[in-house]
């Protein structure tokens, strides 16, 4: 197939797009400002301590000083929000997905979300200021008090309007996305020609142009260990490979249907490859995807439970219509962790999709999940496509072929 030449406008567009890096130093400047606030905080704190120790601190003074500290912290929070959120939105992805400290809002950050977050943070700061005035009402002029209140109301009003508008705007974005006509994506240097033997007969996901890089952003956010495509999968390799099923799954319709996929087979037969490839297709079809190994999911859920927010974590994961759990079976789980996996599977049952890969058949999952296994596999497999892969490892086959040459 002939390569498509990039028209010059695209190059120009890329050059313009690259100028976003000019913003990067600004964010580091804000980091320096953050440092100034840290300094200010400790200076205020030190003064407060000295006053208390010296016995000069009245109750009102302490309250005002503490409010001032809260104020400084809130402004510091605002700064972090602008630094991290702004950098992620306007400069480059930071790749925090799956990080245990990833702020809840960052996974769905866009300029709308950021605006609303900023507006609410500003309302918070102005509340503290107003409170300071009220506490110190004897030293505050009526004029200042009046204007403080009016300005605070204006902040609340604008935050409410922004929040109200961000709803319809997000919905409009989704609709516009869904309404885009399917167009065959031109192949460029970045999209390799399909190999003749590859699983490509699925016209795949209706190929959409990705001018905003949304699909690309979803792929990057998914945390895939490597980019594996269905087009690169050599279907002659696994023994008795179910080509039709995998090609059908490649249309990513199972995600909208909230069905699951389980890949079972010995090491090196391409389970992770296929799981990632279906994940990429799901991203291209407009779904958000999250990839992690079973051990990583175990750690994440254990942390959430320890922090008393397991339900919140499960609910937050609903924002990803597809989760991939790779390598179930390499390590057996204790009953507590097995229970967490059961909760994950039960929570997503008929609600959202899972792709699971394992080196052992479902009938042997009691070796991994113990007593939770029957209930877990029952829910997982009820609406699932189980794809069995068999044969020798692709890795060793490649190695022995190289030796033979
Ligand atoms: P598994 O998860 O089953 O252990 P992987 O998916 O990690 O195996 O496969 C190991 C390596 O071999 C990966 O780099 C993968 O891309 C490659 N591979 C496996 N099977 C195939 C195949 N049929 N066609 C192309 N590459 C393959
Ligand atoms: Mg694997």
For residue 203, give the 3-state DSSP assignment: coil
Q: Tell me how far the alpha carbon of residue 240 lies from the centroid of ligand 2, in angstroms.
A: 19
Residues 170 and 246 in one domain: no
Residues 40 and 155 in one domain: yes
Which pLDDT band holds residue 10 (cuts at 50, 70, 90)?
confident
Residues 174 and 308 in one domain: no
Q: Is the pLDDT of residue 159 over 70?
A: yes
The pLDDT value given to residue 94: 77
For residue 19, give the 3-state DSSP assignment: helix
Q: Do 368 and 328 contact (CB within 8 A), yes or no?
A: yes
**pTM, entire model:** 0.56
Which pLDDT band holds residue 228 (cuts at 50, 70, 90)?
very high
As a whole number of angstroms, the distance between CA 96 and CA 238 comes to 35
What domain range is 399 assigned to? Answer: 214-404
Q: Is the pLDDT of residue 236 over 90?
A: no
Per-residue H/E/C for 254-299: HHHCCCEEEEECCCCCCHHHHHHHHHHHHHHCCCCEEEEEHHHHHH
Any domain includes 198: no
- For ligand 1, pick from 226, 268, 361 the residue to mutate: most ligand atoms within 8 Å of CB: 268
For residue 196, which of 224, 236, 227 has the smallest C-alpha distance? 236
Any domain includes 393: yes
Which pLDDT band holds residue 196 (cuts at 50, 70, 90)?
very low
- Is the four-CA dihedral 325, 331, 336, 339 of positive or negative sign? positive
Residues 220 and 93 in one domain: no
Residues 328 and 377 in one domain: yes
**More confidently predicted of 133 and 395:** 133
Any domain includes 62: yes
**What residues pair up with 354 in beta bridges, in sequence order?**
323
The pLDDT value given to residue 178: 41
The two structure tokens encoding residue 392: 């020798």
Highest mean pLDDT among 170-179, 232-241, 358-367: 358-367
Tell me the per-residue pLDDT of 265-285, one tens digit each, with 9 for 90 and over. Answer: 999 999 999 999 999 999 999
Q: Which atom of ligand 1 is nearest to the CA of 395?
A: 12
Interval 230-242 mean pLDDT: 89
Residues 373 and 293 in one domain: yes
- For ligand 1, pick from 194, 200, 241, 270 the residue to mutate: most ligand atoms within 8 Å of CB: 270
As a whole number of angstroms, the distance between CA 106 and CA 149 comes to 32
Residue percentage of the chain with pLDDT more than 70: 80
Interval 305-321 mean pLDDT: 95
Any domain includes 203: no
Out of 179, 197, 225, pick the residue that ends a domain: 179
As a whole number of angstroms, the distance between CA 78 and CA 80 comes to 5
Tell me the per-residue pLDDT of 58-114, one tens digit each, with 9 for 90 and over. Answer: 888 888 889 889 988 988 888 888 888 888 888 887 776 656 676 666 655 566 777
Please count the helices (runs of H) and the strands (runs of E) in the chain: 16, 5
Q: Tell me how far the alpha carbon of residue 70 lies from the centroid of ligand 1, in angstroms.
A: 53
Q: Count of residues for the chain? A: 405
The pLDDT value given to residue 207: 52
Residues 239 and 135 in one domain: no
As a whole number of angstroms, the distance between CA 343 and CA 113 comes to 30
Residues 275 and 175 in one domain: no
Q: Tell me how far the alpha carbon of residue 190 lies from the centroid of ligand 1, in angstroms.
A: 21
Tally of domains in the chain:
2
As a whole number of angstroms, the distance between CA 323 and CA 331 comes to 20
Beta strands 260-264 and 353-358, pairing class: parallel
The pLDDT value given to residue 128: 86
- For ligand 1, pick from 355, 391, 394, 401 the residue to mutate: most ligand atoms within 8 Å of CB: 394
As a whole number of angstroms, the distance between CA 306 and CA 293 comes to 20
Residues 28 and 169 in one domain: yes
Angle at 85 between CA 17 and CA 284, to 5 degrees: 60
Residues 156 and 243 in one domain: no
Q: Tell me how far the alpha carbon of residue 268 lies from the centroid of ligand 1, in angstroms.
A: 5
Q: Do 300 and 267 contact (CB within 8 A), yes or no?
A: no
User: What values do phi and psi take at 291, rounded to 5?
Assistant: -110, 135
Residues 166 and 221 in one domain: no
Residues 84 and 25 in one domain: yes
Residue whose token pair is 């997503």: 348
Any domain includes 201: no
Any domain includes 349: yes
Any domain includes 195: no
Q: Tell me how far the alpha carbon of residue 270 lies from the centroid of ligand 1, in angstroms.
A: 3
**More confidently predicted of 208 and 380:** 380
CATH number, domain of 324, equals 3.40.50.300
As a whole number of angstroms, the distance between CA 228 and CA 271 comes to 11
Any domain includes 331: yes
As a whole number of angstroms, the distance between CA 393 and CA 405 comes to 18
Q: Is the CB of 268 under 6 A from ligand 1?
A: yes
Q: Tell me how far the alpha carbon of residue 206 lies from the centroid of ligand 2, in angstroms.
A: 28
The two structure tokens encoding residue 122: 């500003």
Out of 153, 179, 205, pick the residue that ends a domain: 179
Whose Cα sits closest to atom 23 in ligand 1?
A: 234
Out of 160, 179, 198, pick the residue that ends a domain: 179
For residue 76, give the 3-state DSSP assignment: helix
């Amino acid at each position: 197939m002939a390569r498509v030449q990039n028209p010059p406008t695209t190059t120009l567009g890329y050059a313009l797009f690259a100028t976003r890096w000019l913003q990067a130093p600004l964010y580091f400047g804000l980091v320096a400002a953050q440092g100034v606030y840290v300094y200010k905080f400790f200076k205020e704190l030190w003064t407060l301590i000295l006053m208390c120790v010296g016995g000069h601190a009245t109750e009102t003074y302490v309250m005002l000083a503490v409010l001032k500290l809260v104020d400084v912290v809130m402004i510091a929070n605002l700064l972090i929000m602008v630094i991290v959120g702004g950098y992620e939105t306007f400069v480059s992805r930071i790749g925090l997905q799956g990080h245990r400290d990833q702020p809840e809002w960052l996974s769905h950050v866009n300029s709308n979300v950021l605006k609303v977050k900023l507006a609410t943070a500003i309302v918070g700061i102005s509340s503290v200021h107003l409170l300071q005035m009220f506490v110190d009402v004897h030293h505050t002029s009526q004029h200042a008090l009046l204007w403080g209140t009016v300005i605070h109301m204006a902040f609340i009003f604008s935050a409410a309007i922004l929040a109200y508008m961000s709803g319809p705007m997000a919905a409009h974005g989704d609709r516009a996305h869904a309404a885009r006509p399917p167009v065959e994506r031109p192949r460029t240097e970045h999209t390799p020609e399909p190999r003749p033997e590859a699983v490509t007969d699925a016209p795949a996901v209706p190929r959409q142009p990705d001018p905003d890089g949304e699909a690309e952003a979803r792929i990057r956010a998914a945390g895939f260990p490597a980019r594996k495509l269905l087009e690169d999968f050599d279907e002659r390799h696994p023994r008795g490979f179910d080509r039709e099923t995998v090609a059908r799954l490649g249309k990513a319709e199972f995600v909208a249907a909230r069905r699951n996929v389980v890949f079972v087979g010995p090491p090196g037969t391409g389970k992770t490859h296929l799981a990632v490839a279906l994940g990429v297709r799901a991203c291209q079809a407009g779904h958000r995807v999250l990839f992690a190994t079973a051990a990583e999911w175990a750690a994440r859920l254990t942390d959430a439970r320890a922090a008393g927010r397991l339900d919140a974590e499960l609910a937050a994961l609903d924002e990803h219509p597809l989760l991939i759990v790779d390598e179930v079976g390499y390590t057996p789980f204790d009953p507590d962790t097995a229970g967490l996996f059961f909760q994950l599977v039960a929570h997503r049952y008929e609600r959202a999709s899972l792709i699971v890969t394992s080196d052992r058949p479902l009938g042997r999952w009691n070796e991994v999940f113990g007593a939770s296994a029957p209930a877990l596999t029952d829910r997982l497999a009820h609406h699932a496509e189980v794809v069995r892969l068999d044969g020798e490892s692709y890795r060793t086959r490649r190695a022995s072929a190289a030796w033979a040459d």
